[in-house]
Amino acid sequence: MKGGSHDQTKMLPIKAGVAFIYMGAVEKYQVDPEILACGINYDNGHKFRSTAIVEYGMPYKMPESMIRAYKEEDQKNQVISHFLALLCRPS
């Protein structure tokens, strides 16, 4: 997927596109994808060839009940909101 670059000390907000891409993969390819957050930190981010540290979160799958609910046109926005809340909760 895609990410952003910044020099803040916190993670950028997760946007709805993550959930739409996830559900698009489920619908188009009939797969059961996982979301894996990752971050790259540098010991000196403004220096060429500084040391990079890559950190990974825990893999996350959308519950089957949410996938079924997403298929109902009137529930899509609610499912997306709930999914983002699950992804953004502190671990």
Per-residue HEC secondary structure of the chain comes to CCCCCCCCCCCCCCCCHHHHHHHHHHHHHCCCCCECCEEEEECCCCCCCCCEEEEECCCECCCHHHHHHHCCHHHHHHHHHHHHHHHHCCC
Question: Residue 9 domain-assigned?
Answer: no
Reported as half-sphere exposure (CB side, CA atoms, 13 A), residue 38 has a value of 10
One-letter identity of residue 77: N
Question: Residue 72 domain-assigned?
Answer: yes
Domain count, the chain: 1
pLDDT in tens, 36-46: 888 888 888 78
Written as six digits, the tokens of 54 are: 């890559």
Question: Residue 3 domain-assigned?
Answer: no
Could you tell me the pTM of the whole model?
A: 0.70
Question: Residue 37 domain-assigned?
Answer: yes
Find the domain containing 56 and state its range. Answer: 17-88
pLDDT in tens, 3-32: 566 677 676 778 888 888 999 999 999 998
Question: Residue 54 domain-assigned?
Answer: yes
Least confident range of 2-11, 35-44, 61-70, 72-81: 2-11
Question: Residue 6 domain-assigned?
Answer: no
Distance CA 22, CA 29 (A): 11
Question: Residue 60 domain-assigned?
Answer: yes
Question: Residue 11 domain-assigned?
Answer: no
